[in-house]
Chain A
Amino acid sequence: NAGVTQTPKFQVLKTGQSMTLQCAQDMNHNSMYWYRQDPGMGLRLIYYSASEGTTDKGEVPNGYNVSRLNKREFSLRLESAAPSQTSVYFCASRDDTPYEQYFGPGTRLTVT
């Protein structure tokens, strides 16, 4: 089992460019999440998907869109990148019980 995989690991964008972060899990989990991690702050939820075909906004959704392509894959899109979106992005999936989350390796994104 690969667990949760993310691509790319690193990315540098110019302001205004777009990109999609890919995430896949092979644990048959219903729930998947996108978080961002900034220095001095806890992980913050951008979007989540409780099941295939559903997505909902988290704490900091502005500037992002998501797609739950199927049960395995959950992508995060930046339509017009801004320097404030410089961060480390983590994808996670979760058991239905006991709600344990499993994290991908992260994507370090820099927007100049």
Chain B
Amino acid sequence: KNEVEQSPQNLTAQEGEFITINCSYSVGISALHWLQQHPGGGIVSLFMLSSGKKKHGRLIATINIQEKHSSLHITASHPRDSAVYICAVLNSGGYQKVTFGTGTKLQVIP
């Protein structure tokens, strides 16, 4: 079993829909990172969080440390949100160890 599991693996949504991507992990962490990878391949940081909730524009990230679970929400989705969303955890046991999920591929249709 992977240390970081994302669901769903693929997601197709209509423009305007509310989207949720989930990330579950099985190790102790000091922080969790949500990343966005566009079709061109570049990877951009969206959020870094260790507790609670963060919001940036239409994106909201939450984390529940006790349940070892994080969610990324996109409100009023738009075709430009189409990308792969990657969850990564910074393991608490090792300063440099980051474990990545395999990503959720999102397509938003106009």
Contact = CB atoms under 8 A, between A and B. Distances in A.
Instruction: Indicate the size class of the contact surface on chain A.
Output: 20 to 34
Contacts of A41: 102
Interface string A28-44: 00010100000011111
A43 B95 CA distance: 17
A42 B97 CA distance: 14
Interface of A: 31, 33, 40-45, 48, 50, 56, 88, 90, 98-103, 105-106, 108
B66 interface: no
Interface stretch (B12-20, B42-50, B55-63): B42-50
A101 B31 CA distance: 12
Interface in B33-55: 33, 35, 41-45, 48, 50
What are the 9 A-B residue pairs with the smallest beta carbon separation, nearest first? A42-B100, A103-B43, A43-B100, A100-B48, A106-B41, A42-B102, A105-B42, A48-B96, A98-B48
B106 interface: no
A105 B4 contact: no
A101 B96 contact: no
Contact of A56 (B44, B90, B96, B101): B96
Given A42-B4, A43-B86, A100-B45, 13 more contacts: A42-B86, A42-B102, A43-B100, A44-B100, A45-B98, A50-B96, A98-B31, A99-B31, A103-B35, A103-B42, A105-B41, A105-B42, A106-B43
B8 to A, nearest CB: 15
Contacts of B48: 98-100
Contacts of A44: 100
A50 to B, nearest CB: 6
18 contacts: A33-B96, A42-B2, A42-B86, A42-B101, A42-B103, A43-B88, A48-B96, A50-B95, A50-B96, A98-B31, A98-B48, A99-B31, A99-B90, A100-B33, A100-B48, A101-B45, A103-B45, A106-B41
Contacts of A33: 96, 98
Contacts of B103: 42
Contacts of A108: 41
